[in-house]
Amino acid sequence: MGIRLGDEAPNFTAKTTEGTINFHNYLGSSWGVLFSHPADFTPVCTTELGRTALLKEEFSKRNVKVLAVSVDPLDKHLQWVNDINETQHCIVDFPIIADENREVAALYDMIHPNASASFTVRSLFIIGPDKKIKLFITYPASTGRNFVEVLRVIDSLQLTANHSVATPADWKAGEDVIVVPAMSTEDALLKFPKGLNIVKPYLRYTPQPE
Ligand code: BEZ
């Protein structure tokens, strides 16, 4: 059975472009994004890793450490990083795991045999500081991921971890949020001093808490 939300993120020790890393130790008290791509020296993956590098400040201001993984060897990763830096005008300085033995891919169910028998699909896991899986998405090789969307869901996950709110469709940081159904309106009025917009008894908005 694959990984599910709320499961502990499997730990591993692996060779990466930033040295050998024990995953849980590396994350420490940070949030984590672990994402796989099918292979080195491929065009969509090149843009994805470049985009991630260019968003470095956005990940670090959210206290998120990013790690990429593919089943190619370390020397290939290191050569490919030069190409990514050159073509995407960035500096890749997050670890890329060399998962030649497919150990990380197996732990995270990143090989989907009906898509490709040997390469990882585009899996992405967001891991909380408690090392639990908070979100995962899986894209096929042909479709590059949207890393602004990844930041958006991290904003939602971090907000909803700390307040009794949920975020509506297409929500972006700073917009109104929804009071969770489990909270009574009486309690919500006390908890959210900026006020409530009660559209239906079950659909109650409040400005984003600080
Ligand atoms: C790519 O990253 O460009 C890619 C990889 C495998 C299949 C198709 C595209």
Residue bearing the CA closest to ligand 1, atom 7: 141
Asked if residue 170 lies in contact with residue 158, where contact means CB atoms within 8 angstroms, the answer is no
Nearest CA-CA partner of 47 in 126, 143, 112, 119: 143
Ligand 1 atom closest to the Cα of residue 39 is: 5
Query: For residues 95 and 90, what is the distance between their CA atoms, to the nearest angstrom?
Result: 15
Nearest CA-CA partner of 24 in 130, 135, 154, 161: 130
Nearest CA-CA partner of 121 in 103, 135, 101, 142: 142
Q: Taking the CA atoms of 162, 167, 171 and 176 in sequence, report the sign of the dihedral they define.
A: negative
Residue bearing the CA closest to ligand 1, atom 6: 141
Query: For residues 80 and 92, what is the distance between their CA atoms, to the nearest angstrom?
Result: 10
Ligand 1: lining residues by beta carbon, under 6 Å: 38-39, 42-45, 141-142
**pLDDT tens digits, residue range 80-137?**
999 999 999 999 999 999 999 999 999 999 999 999 998 999 999 999 999 999 999 9
- Residue 2: pLDDT band (50, 70, 90) is confident
CA angle 157, 27, 95 (to 5 degrees): 105
Query: Quick one: pLDDT at residue 44?
Result: 98
Ligand 1 atom closest to the Cα of residue 119 is: 6
Query: For residues 9 and 70, what is the distance between their CA atoms, to the nearest angstrom?
Result: 18
Best mutation site among 35, 40, 41, 45 for ligand 1 pocket (most ligand atoms within 8 Å of CB): 45
**pLDDT tens digits, residue range 36-45?**
999 999 999 9
Best mutation site among 37, 44, 139, 145 for ligand 1 pocket (most ligand atoms within 8 Å of CB): 44
pLDDT at 165 over 80: yes
Percent of the chain at pLDDT above 90? 97
Active site members: 45
Query: Quick one: pLDDT at residue 1?
Result: 66
For the chain, give the mean pLDDT.
97
Query: For residues 143 and 194, what is the distance between their CA atoms, to the nearest angstrom?
Result: 41
